[in-house]
């Protein structure tokens, strides 16, 4: 690894952060479930899949706020995200998380950073994460029309998780989700993702946005809870992978869609196509592998 004083993301390649201990306590999980609109009756002894965001940011926040690369945070975009769940995330457990700047690629002055993280409960891996971030020392220059912020507690159409879905290949199941500005602040507190694009209007506008926008990982949690409705048990998802296409403003309603596209030969897993969109515009697209057979450990 090169000198960290160079203030260049490429010099951070190979950097290891942690291990950091994160306590998955009942209050934290209940707060996360509430702010993401998940099913409080389901997630009492285990954390929902979306909670992996809190584990990720236990280490990723140190990298994404590192003063040594501060000039390259003028533009910071979460490009894509993958979580894998070998085991359930148990409430009351202490998870050791280690993060690594695995790879940095430079392209025309922009840096694509692959950040991986692993969470362990003792000798067992419970979550693996792979993120791609785009960093640049050049702020956005495209003209975007600034929009006034909605009132702090205003949401659009929003549905809380809880209803189970039956598996039918090719049949799309969907419902609406939305977050208020207050929800975004509460989500930041629940996960440690305090990027000012999600709560400070001036920072968001300076980054080329019309105003504050919802966290990408909040939207991943919505997709994960939608996919989880196809299965029972504390580890309904084996993996979820998404790409972020566009931003979602607070108080705007987005439509979640989950479509089973195949079932494994042994009947244990289903492949589910996922989409979060506003009208015809994609906000987040991706897929999940849903466990039709329970993992109960």
| pLDDT of 103 higher than 50 | yes
Q: Are 249 and 214 in contact (CB under 8 A)?
A: yes
In this prediction, residues 125-130 reach a mean pLDDT of 98
| Mean of per-residue pLDDT scores for the chain | 93
The domains located in the chain, with CATH, are 4-138+152-291 (3.10.129.10)
Residues forming a β-bridge with 155 = none
- The pLDDT confidence band at residue 140, using thresholds 50, 70 and 90, is low
For 14, 45, 47, 210, the CA distances from 70, given in Å and listed in that order, are: 18, 39, 33, 23
Q: What percentage of the chain reaches a pLDDT higher than 70?
A: 95
pLDDT in tens, 18-34: 999 999 999 999 999 99
| Residue 139 pLDDT | 73
Q: What percentage of the chain reaches a pLDDT higher than 90?
A: 85
- The pLDDT confidence band at residue 296, using thresholds 50, 70 and 90, is very low
pLDDT in tens, 191-237: 999 999 999 999 899 888 999 999 999 999 999 999 999 999 999 99
| Residue 1 pLDDT | 46
- The pLDDT confidence band at residue 279, using thresholds 50, 70 and 90, is confident
| Residue 75 pLDDT | 84
| pLDDT of 3 higher than 50 | no
pLDDT, greater one: 75 or 265: 265
| Residue 293 pLDDT | 74
Phi then psi for 106, rounded to 5 degrees? -100, 135
| pLDDT of 297 higher than 60 | no
**Other C-beta atoms within 10 Å of 183: how many?**
23
In this prediction, residues 2-17 reach a mean pLDDT of 80
3-state secondary structure of 113: strand
For 69, 206, 211, the CA distances from 145, given in Å and listed in that order, are: 29, 12, 9
What is the β-pairing status of strands 110-121 and 124-136? antiparallel
Give the span between the Cα atoms of 255 and 40, in whole angstroms.
21
What is the β-pairing status of strands 269-278 and 173-177? unpaired
Residues constituting the chain? 297
| Residue 10 pLDDT | 94
3-state secondary structure of 10: helix
3-state secondary structure of 145: coil
- The pLDDT confidence band at residue 87, using thresholds 50, 70 and 90, is very high
- The pLDDT confidence band at residue 294, using thresholds 50, 70 and 90, is low
Residues 6+ apart with CB under 8 A from 83: 49, 52, 127, 128, 129, 220, 224, 239, 240, 241
Q: Are 55 and 112 in contact (CB under 8 A)?
A: no
Q: Are 275 and 285 in contact (CB under 8 A)?
A: yes
């Amino acid at each position: 690894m090169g000198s960290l004083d160079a203030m260049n993301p490429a010099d951070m390649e190979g950097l290891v952060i942690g291990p950091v201990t994160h306590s998955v306590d009942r209050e934290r999980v209940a707060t996360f479930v509430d702010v993401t609109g998940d099913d409080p009756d389901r997630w009492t002894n285990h954390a929902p899949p979306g909670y992996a965001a809190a584990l990720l940011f236990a280490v990723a926040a140190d990298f994404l706020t590192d003063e040594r690369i501060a000039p390259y945070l003028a533009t910071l975009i979460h490009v894509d995200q993958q979580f894998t769940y070998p085991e359930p995330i148990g409430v009351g457990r202490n998870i050791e998380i280690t993060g690594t700047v695995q790879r940095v690629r430079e392209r025309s002055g922009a840096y694509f950073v692959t950040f991986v993280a692993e969470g362990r409960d003792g000798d067992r891996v419970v979550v693996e994460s792979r993120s791609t971030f785009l960093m640049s020392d050049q702020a956005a220059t495209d003209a975007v029309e600034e929009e006034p912020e909605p009132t702090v507690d205003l949401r659009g159409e929003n549905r809380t998780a809880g209803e189970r879905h039956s598996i039918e290949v090719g049949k799309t199941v969907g419902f609406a989700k939305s977050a208020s500005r207050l929800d975004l602040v509460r989500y930041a507190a629940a996960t440690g993702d305090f990027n000012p694009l999600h709560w400070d209007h001036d920072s968001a506008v300076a980054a080329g946005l019309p105003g504050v926008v919802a966290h990408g990982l909040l939207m991943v949690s919505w997709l994960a809870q939608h996919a989880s409705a196809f299965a029972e048990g504390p580890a309904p998802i084996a993996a979820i992978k998404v790409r972020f296409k566009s931003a979602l403003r607070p108080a705007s309603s987005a439509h979640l869609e989950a479509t089973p596209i195949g079932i494994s030969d042994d009947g244990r897993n289903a492949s589910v196509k996922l989409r979060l969109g506003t009208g015809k515009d994609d906000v987040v697209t991706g897929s999940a592998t849903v466990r039709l057979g329970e993992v109960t450990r």
